[in-house]
Amino acid sequence: MLLTVQHKTIYRYDMPMRSAVQSLRLFPSRFEGQHVLSWQVEVANGLRGASFRDGAGDKVEGWSVRGPLNEVVVTVEGQVETADLAGVLRGHREMIAPEAYLRDTAATEADHALRQIGADALAGSGGALDAAHRMAAAIAEAIAYRPGVTHAHTTAAEALALAEGVCQDHAHALIATARAQGIPARYVSGYLYASEDGTPHEAAHAWAELYLDGLGWVGFDPANRCCPDERYIRLGSGMDARDAAPIRGIALGAGQENLDVTVALAAVQQ
């Protein structure tokens, strides 16, 4: 599938700020499921800084903006050819040992209920892949999609207790469940092309990857009850949503920040 992306993020401040610095993970991952035809990341009036590929294989680029400034505008434009690998992250180069993704973070600590979901999924499953599918299905069942109920800092356990949430909560809950059963898991951020069937999810999306022996990293998207396919563009990963954030930034000054994001994905007819 040939997908075009237009993604604009605007941070507005109610008074002039002294300067801003950003660390961007806004570049499509390099693996067999994605082929980048064009990709441009730009911070308006910004100075491009250091760039490197981190241990998880993600490209990171630093930017800075000199003040005084009233807004920081990050635009992403590009075209990616995608293929359906049934969620398998084939051909992705990375350095971090899978075991490093067993460590808990505040957002992904498993409580008794999450442990139970994992134990139930594992019991009577036909191998790791089957167990992972069962976990993802159980999370999808336990947490209904509903925006506005949870917030950026809601933990996996809290979302499960609320039984409602968004893709971030689904991903956190699946990660917590898997790690509690000794399966390395991580948070993935990216884009999702929502086709005409009226899927309500935003184009800026997130899901989880589990490390399964014999397969390596495999994506699971409980929010959509599937594994990432050609409708998905993968950007980067981390221990949880905060760690995998596509944009990390800070503006120095006393102003209050207001965020405005627009993402548009389109499929190009071939």
Binding residues for other proteins, rule: CB under 8 A, are 19, 21-23, 47-52, 54-56, 60-62, 64, 66, 94-97, 99-100, 102-103, 238-239, 242-243, 248-250, 252
- In angstroms, rounded to a whole number, what is the distance separating the alpha carbons of residues 215 and 21? 38
- Residue 109 CB neighbour total at 10 angstroms: 16
Minimum CB–partner distance for residue 114 and other proteins (Å): 18
3-state SS assignment for residue 133: helix
> Residue type for 88, please?
V
- In angstroms, rounded to a whole number, what is the distance separating the alpha carbons of residues 177 and 135? 7
User: Rounded to an integer, what is the distance from CA 5 to the centroid of its chain?
Assistant: 16
Minimum CB–partner distance for residue 61 and other proteins (Å): 8
What string of DSSP letters covers 203-258? SEEEEEEEEETTTEEEEEBGGGTB---TTEEEEEEESSTTTT-SEEEEEESSPPEE
Which tokens go with 265?
């994905």
Minimum CB–partner distance for residue 95 and other proteins (Å): 3
Nearer to other proteins, 123 or 152 (CB): 152
Nearer to other proteins, 160 or 212 (CB): 212
Nearer to other proteins, 168 or 224 (CB): 168
Minimum CB–partner distance for residue 250 and other proteins (Å): 5
Nearer to other proteins, 97 or 268 (CB): 97
Nearer to other proteins, 96 or 215 (CB): 96
Nearer to other proteins, 100 or 163 (CB): 100
Minimum CB–partner distance for residue 106 and other proteins (Å): 11
- In angstroms, rounded to a whole number, what is the distance separating the alpha carbons of residues 225 and 15? 44
Minimum CB–partner distance for residue 144 and other proteins (Å): 29
Tally the residues of the chain. Answer: 270
